[in-house]
Structure 1
Amino acid sequence: MRHRAPQLTAVLAVTAAAVAAVLLAAPSARAENNGVGLKPVLGWSSWSFIRKAPSAAKIDAQADAMKSSGLAAVGFDYVNLDDFWYQCPGSQGPNVDQYGRWVTDPAKFPASGSTDGIQAVANHVHGDGLKFGLYVTPGISKQAVSQNTAIQGTSYHADDIATTTAEKNYNCSGMVGIDYGKPGAQAFINSWANEFAAWGVDYVKIDGVGTGDVADIQAWSAALRQTGRPIHLELSNSLAIGSAATWAQYANGWRTGGDIECYGCESGGSSYPLTQWSSVQSRFAQVAAWQPYGGPGGYNDYDSLEVGNGADDGLTAPERQSQMSLWAMGAAPLVLGTDLTNLDPTDLGYLKNSRVLAVDQDGIDAARLVNNGDQQVYSKTEPNGDVILGLFNYSGTASTTVTVPLASAGISGSAAATDLWTGGSLGTVSGAYSVTLAPGAVRLIRAVPSGSRAVRIEAESSGNTLAGATRTASCSGCSGGTKVGYIGDGAADYLTVNGINEASAGARTLTFSYLLSGSRSFSISVNGGPDTTVNLTGSSFSTVYTASVPITVKAGANTVRFHNDTAYAPDLDVITVQ
C-alpha cells in the first residue's frame, strides 16, 4: 500500500466519554481480513451437551430448534459439529480417504446417495437459514502415512510430507506432524479445505493447537482462503497470550483457556450439569488480560455459553446472567453448549435479550476497572459515547456491595442509566455507582452521559463502506492498529463512514486524524450533499495529523464520505463528530 508507515497516537479534542472510548475500546490487533468474523459469532456447538455421540439426526434437530425457538431470528446462526464425526478405528489415527483426509463415520452420518453424510447435515442446516461448522485437529493421520496416500492434484504422497512428531488429537490420537517446507504439504491442507468447502462448511475449529503449531494454523488459514468460500477459522484451546498477535493475524477467534465443562460433576451418564460457577470465575481474569487483543475480524473466545437448560446448566439464574454479561462485555463468541431442543423459558428470555446481545455485538472488549476481591467491574465506551458498565459479584456464596467511580469509566458528570437485563431506568447517576449483589449476580448498565458527546469511529470499522481499491492496512501506532488508505485517485475509490447517529439536527464539528507526506486533499460529503474540499499537508507518514471542518447533520443516521476523484487522498485513522 502506498506510503504506509507507523504513526504517532492521535490526539483529539474530545469529551471525557470519547477519551474513554480511545482508552477502552480500541483493539490493538486485527485478524486476517477473510470477510468473516467482523462481529462475535452467535451460535451453538455440539460438544457440551451431545459430547461423544453426535449424529445427523441430533445435529438436524438442534438446527431446527435454533430456528423454531426464535434464537435464529435474534442472530444465532452457527450450528457447529465438534469431535467424533469421523471414523476412528484405533490408536493409528482416523480412517482416511484416497487423499489422506478423514472419512465421515457413516453410522453416525449416513451418506445420501452421492452426498457425503456431513454434506447432508450441512444441507439441512443451510435449509434452516443457518451456517454449519466442523472440527479438525492439526497434522496428518498415521493411516495416511502407512497407506502413503496421494496428495490430490500433485505427484506427492503422505510420506513425502509427514514427520514422526505426534500431533494432538484428544480423542482418537494417531496424528503426526507435517513438514510445511516440503512440496505437497500446503496442497494437502488445500485439498482438505476444498473438501470442507464443497460440503458447505462455514466454520472450522482446529483443536489442540498452540505455539508449536503456527505452521499448521498458517496453512489452514491460507487453505480456507483459497477455497473462495467465506469460512470462519477458530483456534482451540488455551492459546498463549504472548502470541496473541499471531492468532489475530491468521484466525477469527482463539480460545483463551481450557474447557468450561464440569466433567467431574456429571452424573447418571448425562452431560449435566454442563458447568459450574468456578469455571465461569476463571474467565474474569482472562477477560481482563486479553482485552487489548479482540476486535473486528477476530475475537477472544472464552468457550461455550452454558445458558439454556435451567438448573441443568450448572449455574444459578444470577450466575447465568453473569456468564452471559461477562462474555458480552468481552465481545466474545456466544456459542451455546446447551440442548436447544429442551430450552428453559427463563434462559431463552436471557438469550433473546436484545439489549444484552447488543453489548456483545458492538465488538468492543471491555477493560477491568475494579478488581477488589469479590468486586469486579468492567467498562467499555461505544462509538456514540454511551458507557457500558458490568458490575459483578465474584462470590458464589455471599452477597457483596460493588462500587465503581464513574470517572474511571470516562463519565465526568452525570449520566442516565438503564439496567440492560430488565430494561428499567436506574435514574441519573454521578460520582460513584454502588449496588448490592446476590451471590454470582451482575448489574449490567448502559449509561448515557449528559451534555456534549462525541461520536468516534475508526476509519476501518466494519460498519463503514470501503469502495473500490480503498483498503485497510496495519499501522502499529494507529488507534486500533489499523488505518485506511488508497482513498481517491478515482471516483470509485472512497470511504463512507456510517453509524453517525444524532438525536437532533444541527451544526457539528468533524475532526479526523490522517497521515500524509506532501500535499493532498479530501473531498468530504455529508449525507450525499455537496463536497467540502480540505487541502492538507504533512511531512511524514510516520506522524498523525488532525484537521477539523464544520458540518451539518440531520436527526437520525448520518454518513460522511471521504474521497478524491482525481488524485490520492491522505490515509485516514479516526473520525470524531462533536
Structure 2
Amino acid sequence: MKLSTNIFRILAVVVLLSGCFGKAKDLALATDKESDFKQWAQTPPMGWNSWDCYGPTVREHEIMSNADYMAEHLKEFGWEYVVVDIRWFVENPKSHGYNQTDPIYVVDEYGRYMPATNRFLSAEDGNGFKVLADYVHNKGLKFGIHIMRGIPKYAVENKLPIKGTNGVTADQIYSTGNQCKWLKDNYTIDASKPGAQEYYNSIFELYADWGVDFIKIDDLSAPIYHKEEIELIRKAIYNCGRKIVLSTSPGETPLNAGSHASEHANMWRMVNDVWDNWGHIKHVMEVSQDWYKHIKPGTWPDCDMIPLGRLSIRGEVGNDRMTNLTKDEQYTLMSFFTIFKSPLMFGGDLPSNDDFTLSLLTNKEVLKMHTESSGVRQLYFNDNKLAITSNNEKENITYLALFNVLDELPQDVGVKLSELGLLGKVKITNLWTGEEVGEFKDEFIQNLKPHASGLYKIENN
C-alpha cells in the first residue's frame, strides 16, 4: 500500500512538473511571439505619407502617382512605404482644417470605416483598399494607412454590432472620457468592456485582408498616453496574422512611457507635427536628448515626417509651396534625422520634387549610415552647438554630425577625437558630397553658418 502511495505521489509530481514546464514553454512561445514585431522593422521604416501635401483630402490617383515615383526613383535606395493619411473614409473633407460640421462617413455594417469611393474609385463593391494596396505591392512597395484610435461615433449612435462577438454592439464598449480634442470622429474604447478587443481584432482583420503593411494611429501617444488601447492594438495585430508595422502618433510621447512604447510599437512620435520652419527643427533636436537610449532595432523614436519638397497642395499649414527651409536647413534636417536613425517619412509631393530634393533622398552613403549604424549618442548640446556620433562596427567607420543651432552667427563646432575613441591620424570625408575633408589628429573643428551642419565619415588612416 505504501509503495502504491509513493508511486502515486511520484506520478503526481511528474504530472505537476510537466504542467509547469508546459506553461513555461507556452509562456516562452508567447514571449517570442510578442517580440516578433520587432523583426518587421529592423531598420527605421522609410516611405511617403500624404499628410503634408494633401491633408485629409488625398485621392486615389495622387496615391498612385506618388507610388509610381517612389518605385522609379527611390525604391532602390530603401524607400518602400506609401501611406494614406487621415480621414480617407470621409466623402466631403476640406483642406486647411477638418469638416466637422457635416462629414459624410463611410462605415460598414460592423462599424468599421471604409474608403470613400468618390475619392478612391477602386474601393467600390466593398473592395476597400485591396485594389490600391495591390497596385502598390505590384511595384515592389508596401502599403499603409492612418486611423484614429477608438470607435466611430456613427457606430455607437447606430448601435452597430461588433464582429466576432455574441451580440455586443458598439454602444456597449465606448467611453466619452478622453475623447480626442481636435477631431471628434471617434469615441474612446473602454478596454475593460467585453467586445473591446474584438472590435480592434475586426478592423485589423479587415486591414490584413486589404494588404495593409503599415498603420499610423493618431491621438494615441499624447496629450494622454493611451496604454490600454495600445495593448488592444498590439494584440489585434498579432491576431490578424499579417506583419503590420505600428506607428503611434502624435507626440510628445511621455518619456516615462518609453519602455511601454518600445514593447508595443515599431515607432512612436517624440514631438507634434513638424513643419518647414526652423523652430520645429530645433525643438526636435531638444526633445530627442532623452530618447537616444531607446534607439534599437525594431523600435524607433520618431522625429515626424520630412517637410521638404512641395507642401500643402491641399494641406493644413500654409499654401501650396516648396519648403520654406533653406538648403542649409534642409541638409541639417536630413543629417539629424538620419544620424538619429529616425524613421524617414517624406511629406512632400514626390512627383513635384526638384533635383536638389531628390538628391537629399538618394545619397547612398547617408542612407547607409541611417540603416547600418549603431551606438547613436549625443556628445553634447550646449552653447547652441550639437554633436552626435554613431558607428558602423562591421566596417570600422565612425560617423559624426555637427550642428550650429544659432540663428545669426557662424561658429566653430567640433570634437576631440578621443571622445570618439579615435587615436592617431584619421581621414574624414564629407558624407553628403563625398569629398575628403582631410587628415586630422586630436581634434576636428568646422566653422558652420547659422542653422548649418556637417555630416562626416571618419576612418582610421
Q: Sort the TM-score into its range (normalised by shorter chain).
A: 0.7 to 0.9
- In 2, distance between residues paired with 1:119 and 1:399? 52
Partner of 1:125: 136
- 8 Å Cα contact 2:216-2:248 kept in structure 1: yes
- 8 Å Cα contact 1:92-1:143 kept in structure 2: no
- 8 Å Cα contact 2:117-2:123 kept in structure 1: no
Which amino acid is the alignment partner of residue 40 of structure 1? Answer: P
Partner of 2:281: 280
- 8 Å Cα contact 2:91-2:118 kept in structure 1: no
1:334 lines up with 2:334 in the alignment: no
Partner of 1:50: 54
Cα deviation, residue 169, structure 1: 6.8
Cα distance, 1:332–1:44 mapped onto 2, change above 3 Å: same
Partner of 1:23: none
Map 1:242-261 → 2, pairs under 5 A: 242-261=256-275
Partner of 2:218: 207
Partner of 1:228: 241
SS at match of 2:458: strand
Partner of 1:306: 307
Which structure has greater helix proportion?
2
Partner of 1:75: 78
- 8 Å Cα contact 2:375-2:391 kept in structure 1: no
Candidates 152, 157, 162, aligned match of 2:174? 162
- 8 Å Cα contact 2:309-2:350 kept in structure 1: yes
Which amino acid is the alignment partner of residue 85 of structure 2? Answer: D
Partner of 1:386: 397
- Runs of 4+ off more than 4 Å: 88-95
- In 1, distance between residues paired with 2:447 and 2:373? 29
Q: Deviations over 1:397-446 (max 9, x none)?
A: 33221121111122233322111111122222221110111222211111
- In 2, distance between residues paired with 1:294 and 1:439? 28
Which amino acid is the alignment partner of residue 164 of structure 2? Answer: G
Gaps spanning 5+ residues in structure 1: where?
A: 5-30, 262-274, 451-578
Cα distance, 1:415–1:442 mapped onto 2, change above 3 Å: same
Which amino acid is the alignment partner of residue 259 of structure 2? Answer: A
SS at match of 1:66: helix
Cα distance, 1:101–1:115 mapped onto 2, change above 3 Å: closer
Which amino acid is the alignment partner of residue 71 of structure 1? Answer: L
- 8 Å Cα contact 1:399-1:438 kept in structure 2: yes
Cα distance, 1:206–1:92 mapped onto 2, change above 3 Å: farther
Q: Deviations over 1:13-46 (max 9, x none)?
A: xxxxxxxxxxxxxxxxxx9431311100111100
Which amino acid is the alignment partner of residue 82 of structure 2? Answer: V
Cα distance, 1:212–1:446 mapped onto 2, change above 3 Å: closer
- In 1, distance between residues paired with 2:69 and 2:373? 27
Identity percentage over the alignment?
28
- 8 Å Cα contact 1:305-1:334 kept in structure 2: yes
Partner of 1:65: 69
- In 2, distance between residues paired with 1:297 and 1:223? 18
- In 1, distance between residues paired with 2:225 and 2:124? 41
How many residues are matched? 408
Cα distance, 1:231–1:363 mapped onto 2, change above 3 Å: farther
- In 2, distance between residues paired with 1:110 and 1:169? 31
- In 2, distance between residues paired with 1:437 and 1:133? 39
- 8 Å Cα contact 2:200-2:236 kept in structure 1: yes
Which amino acid is the alignment partner of residue 282 of structure 1? Answer: H
Partner of 2:292: 291
- 8 Å Cα contact 2:373-2:390 kept in structure 1: no
SS at match of 2:414: strand
- 8 Å Cα contact 2:404-2:411 kept in structure 1: yes
- In 2, distance between residues paired with 1:148 and 1:365? 51
Partner of 1:87: 90
- 8 Å Cα contact 1:307-1:351 kept in structure 2: no
- In 2, distance between residues paired with 1:43 and 1:144? 32
Cα deviation, residue 374, structure 1: 2.6
Partner of 1:493: none
Which structure has greater strand proportion?
1
Which amino acid is the alignment partner of residue 445 of structure 2? Answer: S
SS at match of 1:260: coil
SS at match of 1:305: coil
Partner of 2:386: 376
SS at match of 2:111: coil
* TM norm structure 2: 0.84
- 8 Å Cα contact 1:380-1:389 kept in structure 2: yes
Which amino acid is the alignment partner of residue 339 of structure 1? Answer: D
Candidates 330, 339, 348, aligned match of 2:358? 348
- 8 Å Cα contact 1:178-1:185 kept in structure 2: yes
- In 1, distance between residues paired with 2:123 and 2:114? 15
- 8 Å Cα contact 1:137-1:169 kept in structure 2: no
SS at match of 1:320: helix
Partner of 1:553: none
Partner of 2:232: 219
Gaps spanning 5+ residues in structure 2: where?
A: 1-23, 28-33, 93-99, 312-320
SS at match of 2:109: coil
Cα deviation, residue 101, structure 1: 1.0
- In 1, distance between residues paired with 2:106 and 2:236? 22
SS at match of 2:121: coil
Cα deviation, residue 59, structure 1: 0.7
- In 1, distance between residues paired with 2:220 and 2:123? 33
- In 2, distance between residues paired with 1:51 and 1:162? 28
Partner of 1:38: 42
**Which fold has the larger relative contact order, with Cα–Cα distance below 8 Å and residues 6 or more apart in sequence?**
1
- In 2, distance between residues paired with 1:125 and 1:398? 46
Partner of 1:366: 376
Which amino acid is the alignment partner of residue 288 of structure 2? Answer: V
SS at match of 2:177: strand
SS at match of 2:296: coil
Cα distance, 1:363–1:145 mapped onto 2, change above 3 Å: farther
Cα deviation, residue 448, structure 1: 1.6
Q: Deviations over 1:116-147 (max 9, x none)?
A: 25222212211221111101111111211111
